[in-house]
Each structure stands twice: as structure tokens, then as C-alpha cells.
Copies of this chain bind each other. A is one copy, B any other.
Amino acid sequence: MHLLAGPEGQGWGKDPDRGLLLAALELLAERGYRGATTKEIARRAGVNEVTLFRRFGSKEALLRAALSHFIPVGFLERLPAEEAPLEEGLRQLLEAYLDLLKAHQALLPKLLAELLRHPGLRGAGPPEGILGVLERAVGFFRAQQRRGLLRSDEPPEEMALAFVGPLMARFLLGEALGVYLPLDQEAYLRGYLEGRYGAGREGQSGLR
């Protein structure tokens, strides 16, 4: 998986720009806002430091631009199609998410941290980044609802949050506190669909 949409799509083409954006993203992820020095970004992009300032004006502007174009390329394609059968779709979603975490284990927590720290970083840019991915996921749940496979008395965003939320919480627990919980994927799917009421209900499961 790469990190930037493109390579020539979005109109911010040109070579040195792209190299700088990519290098900025990598370094931001590796070392944080402070640690991503302009000198090092330029070096990694194979470009002179002065060029960085000439093209983006400031470090802040460069990083903002980089974040607004960030998207794990290839992730979108792994999301389930809206017409996918419910359980198969959920499994795909779960696996895509876990693979994403594995592939960008180092980057994601740092990127998240920077987003939390510098609210200014999130503006500016097409919503085709992370928000686009979220939209796609929500679309899947909406379609499943329309087909009557999921309860219809909750907004699809809620359905999506209920599925992804515990995974994100796990992620945070690990990255922020160093506490790692094992994950049983089948049990996770079962728990999501069947709820938490009552004693163990083996055999009643719609899953295998």
C-alpha cells in the first residue's frame, strides 16, 4: 500500500511536490511534527531544502498539504462491495482493517497524534482522503440495512461505528497504553451481530 493518491490524478502533479509530500508524510509518521525537520524532508525527497520553502512557503503548509492528500492507496479496493453478503462483507471489512493496521503500524498512531495535536492540519484538501474511506464503509452498512439484513432502527453510521469502534479502541489501548488484547475474529463478528444479552448462546449463531 502506498500513501498518496495519484500519481498524476489530483492536479497537484509535478515531481518535486510529490516527492516532498511523500517524504513529509513518512517523516511526520516516523518522528512527529517536531522531528520531521525541513532539512531531512528535503533530503529524503532528493531536493534542496530551499526548494521546500519556495514551493510550500512553510513547514506547516507542507505538512498540511501532505495530510490532506493522505490515503492508504489500495485500501479502498479491499472494502466490501455494497452487494456483498452480510457476513462475508463484514469479514472482508475486518480483514482489510487489520491488514491496514499491520501495513502501517508505525505510521497510523503518529498520524493520528498529529491530527489530534494540530487541528489546523485537518482542513484544506479534498475529502477523498480518510473521510472517503469512511463514506465507503458506511455505504456498505446502509445497503445491508436496505436489504433487511441489519436492523433498520439505527443510522448506518451507528452500525459502522459499532463495528469499527471496538477495533479502534483496541488499537488505542495498544498504542497509547501498551496494552494489547488478543482478537478472535469469528467471536468478534458473532458478538457484533448477536449482541450481548444473555448467557452463552452457542449454536444459535448465524455464523458457521
Nearest-neighbour CB distance to chain B for A23, whole angstroms, equals: 19
Whether the Cβ atoms of B122 and A153 lie closer than 8 Å is no
Residue of B at shortest CB range from A183? B158
> Interface of chain A, helix or strand or loop or mixed?
helix
Q: In chain A, residues 140-163, which have Cβ atoms closer than 8 Å to a Cβ of chain B?
A: 148-154, 157-159, 161-162
Whether A112 is near chain B, meaning CB under 8 Å from some CB there, is: yes
Q: A34-B34, A152-B199, A168-B172 are in contact. Are A177 and B130 (CB under 8 A)?
A: yes
Nearest-neighbour CB distance to chain B for A133, whole angstroms, equals: 11
Whole-angstrom CA separation of A165 from B32 in the bound complex:
26
Q: In chain A, residues 95-117, which have Cβ atoms closer than 8 Å to a Cβ of chain B?
A: 109-110, 112-117
